[in-house]
Amino acid sequence: MITITEARKEILKSHPRIDAIYKVTGIAKYVADWNVKDVLYGAVIKSKIPHGKVKSIDVNEAKKIEGVKDIVTCFDDNTIWNAGEKFHRRRVFTDHVRYLGDIIGAVAAETKFSAKIAAETVKVEYEEYPAIFKIEDAMKPDAPKIWEDGNVKGPLVISYGDIEKDFAEADLIFKGNFKTSRVANAQLEPAASLAWWEGNRLTVVAATQSIFGCREGLAKDLGIPIENVRVITYYKGGGFGNKASDMNYDLIAAILAKRTGRPVLIEFSREDEFSLVHGRWGTDQTLEAAVKKDGTILSFRIKAYADVGAYTRAIGKFVEGPESYYSTRSWYSEIYAVYTNTPPTGHMRAPPGPQSCFATESLIDEIAYKLGVNPLDLRLKNAVTKVHNSSNLTSNGLRECLLRGAKEFNWYNRWKKPEKPKKGEIVRGVGMAMAAWHARVGYGEAKIRLKPDGRVELFVGVVDIGTGAKTTMAMIVSRYLGVPIENIDIIWGDTENTPYSIGESGSRTTSFTGNAVKEASLELREKILNLASQFTGIEKKHLEIVNGKVVSLDSSIEIDIGDLLTKTKTDYLETFVRINQELDKNMERLSFAAHFCEVEIDTETGEINVIDYLAVHDSGEIVNYLTAENQVKGGIVMGIGMALNEKLIFSDYDGSLLNGNFMTYRLPTIDKIPNIRVIFVETEDPYGPKSLGEVSIVPVPACIGNAIFNATTIRLTELPFSRETLLAKLDESVFTKV
């Protein structure tokens, strides 16, 4: 006989997204699907030069275009978009344009067409400044200044331990330079925002990852009380990090709506989505590792430059991560952000994660090769036990990920010492990489209500940008309250009707909001059992809720929880919970991954194909295996893109984005995706499920690069890996010497 707890686990470990049917049938309403009366359409006025000062704007001709209701420019509006730039004040409408496309004004018109034409018709006079498009040029002492305080910010330093001592004590020092390109978040739904005012109350239907983050930003930037702002997001077509606050187009919709007294909808074209909304920054990283002959890695020293474009929304470090998955005695990284007259950058899935992992894990692979040891053994030897050599982990499944992966991938049999291929050969090789990412805990809220019809309403402030958050939350209720998931209704995505949630960023939803949902479920369960105990006279400890029914352990009674309310004349039972979890001092919480892959390379054409992929993850307890596996697969597909194809290409002439659409920006296609196996090592963590969404992309480019090395002895040091470089390197260092 299985216990009740086991029975629940059986049922509730895997479930399809509860809103999948609405998405695939087109019923789900995204921002641009809203149909509001008297709506005006907004369009942005974009700079036609990459760098300069706006001297004047003539809107007279544009105003005459039929249907044009309003034109606002940098001379009429001073609003600061606080989330738009990390180190400086960025205006919503700027008079100092810093890249081609920088927004200097906006139009509201009766039709999308009129708005667009008017935005193009506005005459702008500029004082042109010299422009720079490459970080090397931006760092020259006489470079034109993109910001008053210069083009270079930093250094930001992450350090611990005695770096000089460890490098002095090293038997061997390894060094490498690695570069990563700028890439796009490339979510399917382009930027969109719909805003209207009722008196001094603003409502924004936003395509945001966080309705509360968006609301807070709008209130701050517009200088209005937060209670006067309502943000609604019922459906969001992906985000991956670039829409986790209020966005400039939200502010522009609100500003135009205020000025016209009508609702305003702004929707970006795919090209605008690519070039006006930020993507992942590029990096140039020089690493050194201090190593003992026995393979102990004593220390890492990194100097890195981040290619951040004209603006960066990043709030984190530009190179970060490996210092948390290696147990070195010391670490020193010195990071600079460098501005250029190119489109903006910001967060994308584990913002600095894959770039940093690529550099470190490639160098580690190199060290293993030179020391003549298996790269897996080198990692097992140096895998983190104490973070920064001082903090304990709440749980640590890294070794288990490595060992389990080795077994399932048959690593020790498949891995052979790298060998030089013969010209024209099709060769295979295997690679691996490990990674960690933050698994934070924090503030969350949830409200749950049981009604006499037996339905349970969960009020939760998530958006569900594609992560399956609504389903996850429903499953947590189902599991801890003991009701079938079909009986749960989720009320989400509206700051007016739901309690606070961090939203979907930083892989935090399941911990922050999910733990509140769990507590709320347990509290409501107590309330139901108390009522049932009073009603039946059976002691509470002999009662349990199973499948939406209160049952006594001796099976003598069975009451539907809805009927219990009816029979006791209770209108409803409700509970509201706030949690604010904090880690103890000197504790760290991380999720871990070990990835393994095999590549096949045509040495004639340079074509690289990933033909097998295994991902082993420690994200603690998994709530929904189905969506968790999907998350990991999505991260790997994104990582394959970063490794093999994806690169935002900017013009050397004016810094404009040359491949800002799905035809020319090369996302990986399905024929390039191998069979991906995902295994979860479910460590027990005192704070419950750990993070998952971001860590899945972190080791991918490094894993593939290491497999390429294993197949060819060629170390590719720049992302994306290009066929040309591979062929050139093969010609130069392999074939000539055969």
- For ligand MOS, give the closer residue by CB, 62 or 697: 697
Measured CA to CA, the distance from residue 337 to residue 228 in angstroms comes to 36
Give the chain's radius of gyration (CA, Å). 27
Q: How far is the CB of 334 from ligand MOS (least distance, A)?
A: 23
- For ligand MOS, give the closer residue by CB, 314 or 538: 314
Measured CA to CA, the distance from residue 472 to residue 508 in angstroms comes to 13
Q: How far is the CB of 439 from ligand MOS (least distance, A)?
A: 13
Look up residue 323 and give its two tokens.
């210092």
Q: How far is the CB of 508 from ligand MOS (least distance, A)?
A: 8
- The CA-atom distances, in angstroms, between 224 and each of 270, 377, 629 are 32, 58, 42
- For ligand MOS, give the closer residue by CB, 244 or 450: 244
Measured CA to CA, the distance from residue 592 to residue 371 in angstroms comes to 26
Q: How far is the CB of 349 from ligand MOS (least distance, A)?
A: 5
- For ligand MOS, give the closer residue by CB, 52 or 466: 466
Look up residue 133 and give its two tokens.
């498009």
The sheet with strand 549-552 has its strands ordered as 543-546, 549-552, 558-560
Q: How far is the CB of 347 from ligand MOS (least distance, A)?
A: 4
End-to-end CA distance of the chain: 67
- For ligand MOS, give the closer residue by CB, 46 or 349: 349
Measured CA to CA, the distance from residue 485 to residue 548 in angstroms comes to 10
Q: How far is the CB of 353 from ligand MOS (least distance, A)?
A: 9
Q: How far is the CB of 52 from ligand MOS (least distance, A)?
A: 32
Measured CA to CA, the distance from residue 605 to residue 17 in angstroms comes to 42
Judge whether 278 and 344 are in contact, CB under 8 Å: yes
3-state secondary structure 568-620: CCCCCEEEEEEEECCCCCCEECEEEEEEEEEEEEECCCCCEEEEEEEEEEECC
From 497, 491, 518, 496, select the one nearest 579 (Cα to Cα): 518
Look up residue 704 and give its two tokens.
């593939």
- For ligand MOS, give the closer residue by CB, 354 or 429: 354
The sheet with strand 282-291 has its strands ordered as 152-160, 330-339, 297-309, 282-291, 172-180
The sheet with strand 488-491 has its strands ordered as 488-491, 456-459, 443-450, 573-580
Judge whether 682 and 700 are in contact, CB under 8 Å: no
Q: How far is the CB of 298 from ligand MOS (least distance, A)?
A: 32
Coil, strand or helix at 336: strand
Pairing of strands 229-232, 264-267: unpaired
Instruction: Tell me the HSE value of 720 on the side-chain side, using a 13 A CA sphere.
Output: 24
- For ligand MOS, give the closer residue by CB, 353 or 421: 353
- The CA-atom distances, in angstroms, between 279 and each of 182, 346, 547, 694 are 7, 6, 45, 15
Residue 184: in which H helix or E strand, if any? none
- For ligand MOS, give the closer residue by CB, 429 or 634: 634
- For ligand MOS, give the closer residue by CB, 119 or 638: 638
- For ligand MOS, give the closer residue by CB, 192 or 463: 463
Q: How far is the CB of 294 from ligand MOS (least distance, A)?
A: 38
3-state secondary structure 682-694: CCCCCCCCCCCCC
Measured CA to CA, the distance from residue 109 to residue 262 in angstroms comes to 10
Residue 257 is classified by DSSP as H
DSSP assignments along 692-706, one per residue: -TTGGGTTHHHHHHH
- For ligand MOS, give the closer residue by CB, 368 or 469: 469
Could you tell me how many helices (H) and strands (E) the chain has, helices first? 19, 30
Q: Which residue is nearest to ligand MOS, using beta carbons?
A: 241
Cα torsion at 583, 587, 588, 589 (round to 10°)?
-50
Q: How far is the CB of 82 from ligand MOS (least distance, A)?
A: 18
Q: How far is the CB of 241 from ligand MOS (least distance, A)?
A: 2
Q: How far is the CB of 619 from ligand MOS (least distance, A)?
A: 16
Measured CA to CA, the distance from residue 146 to residue 317 in angstroms comes to 21
The answer to whether the Cα torsion of 681, 685, 688, 689 is positive or negative is negative
Q: How far is the CB of 330 from ligand MOS (least distance, A)?
A: 29
- For ligand MOS, give the closer residue by CB, 237 or 674: 237
- For ligand MOS, give the closer residue by CB, 349 or 379: 349
- For ligand MOS, give the closer residue by CB, 280 or 715: 280
Measured CA to CA, the distance from residue 404 to residue 614 in angstroms comes to 10
- For ligand MOS, give the closer residue by CB, 467 or 521: 467
- What residue ranges bind ligand MOS (CB under 6 A)? 209, 239, 241, 244, 347-349, 351, 505-506
Q: How far is the CB of 437 from ligand MOS (least distance, A)?
A: 10
Q: How far is the CB of 236 from ligand MOS (least distance, A)?
A: 11
Q: How far is the CB of 694 from ligand MOS (least distance, A)?
A: 6
Look up residue 530 and give its two tokens.
């108390």
- For ligand MOS, give the closer residue by CB, 299 or 501: 501
Position 506, amino acid: G
- For ligand MOS, give the closer residue by CB, 260 or 509: 509
- For ligand MOS, give the closer residue by CB, 245 or 260: 245
Cα torsion at 474, 476, 480, 484 (round to 10°)?
30
- The CA-atom distances, in angstroms, between 581 and each of 103, 440, 515, 516, 720 are 40, 9, 9, 10, 39
Q: How far is the CB of 683 from ligand MOS (least distance, A)?
A: 23
Q: How far is the CB of 512 from ligand MOS (least distance, A)?
A: 12
Residue 721 is classified by DSSP as P
